[in-house]
Structure 1
């Protein structure tokens, strides 16, 4: 599975949201699995969108044919767009499906990892972070993806922001020390995204 992550700064919020609903046109595209997104909790003008495709072949076919027609509805509505593609490596928790109906918050973590620590980083995700996240109240499911250049995405879906808050305090520092995250990671950025149900396709 291919995971597409789009992050942009919105200059016309109402127009952007109107255009976002046009992406319902993705339904019926061969290989399309789902899409949704929402607004950053920390930076209200920042939007995140996540799309899921069965494979790069289906995604490339759509980009060559139908993408520009759908994207035209949001022309001029945003700036500083960043697009990243990640190959699914494994699930966080079990049985990941791009189903957003029961989630209201997404947590996204983007890491650039030292080349000689890539295998260790992935192992720690499986052995340390996944069990901790899976055992957290309100955590539904997630995906761990990899992009060229030793970049990784951890995308997790949560039932509510209150539940996600229980995962944070002292536990994260303890887990990071156990996983030797400081030794693995060159840079780490993240965000908490409030899902907009009307963006779900």
Structure 2
């Protein structure tokens, strides 16, 4: 499965949200599995979107045929768009599916990893982080993806902001020490996204 992550800064919020509804046209696309997103909690005006495709071939076909027509409705409403593609590697918790309707909050972590530490980083995600996240109240499901250049995406869906708050900073620090994050990771960026139900396709 291919995961597309778009992050952008929105200047015309009403126009952007109006255009966002046009993406319902994705439903007829071969290989399309789902899309959702919302607003960054920490950065005003920053929107995150996540799209899921069965394979890179289906995604490339969509980009060549239908993308520009659907995207036209949002032209001029945002800037600084950053697009990254990741290949799904494994679930965080169990039974990942690209469904957003039962989640309120999405947590995204984007990691750059040293080339010689990729194997260790991946193992720690499976053995340390996954069990901890799976055991956190309110965590519904998540996925771990990889892009060329040793970039990784960890996406997790939560059923309420309150529950996500139970994933406390001191616990995260303890887990990071155990997983040797400081040794593995060269760059780490994250965000908490309040999902917008009307953006779900």
1:126 aligns with 2:108: no
1:177-192 matched pairs, under 5 angstroms: 177-192=177-192
* Offset from partner CA, 1:39-93 (integer Å, 9 cap, x none): 0000120000000000000000000000000000000000000000000000000
* Offset from partner CA, 1:137-176 (integer Å, 9 cap, x none): 0000001000000000000000011100101231100000
1:63-142 matched pairs, under 5 angstroms: 63-142=63-142
CA distance in 1, matches of 2:16, 2:197: 14
User: Which ranges in structure 1 are unaligned for 5 or more consecutive residues?
Assistant: none
SS of the aligned residue for 1:27 comes to: helix
1:42 aligns with 2:47: no
CA distance in 2, matches of 1:155, 1:169: 18
CA distance in 2, matches of 1:74, 1:31: 23
CA distance in 1, matches of 2:43, 2:66: 31
Normalised to the residue count of structure 1, the TM-score between the two structures is 0.99
CA distance in 2, matches of 1:59, 1:107: 24
* Offset from partner CA, 1:4-48 (integer Å, 9 cap, x none): 000000000000000001000000110000000000000120000
Runs of 4+ in 1 over 2 A off after TM superposition: none
CA distance in 1, matches of 2:96, 2:28: 21
Q: How many residues align?
A: 201
CA distance in 1, matches of 2:78, 2:54: 28
SS of the aligned residue for 2:73 comes to: helix
User: Which ranges in structure 2 are unaligned for 5 or more consecutive residues?
Assistant: none
SS of the aligned residue for 2:36 comes to: strand
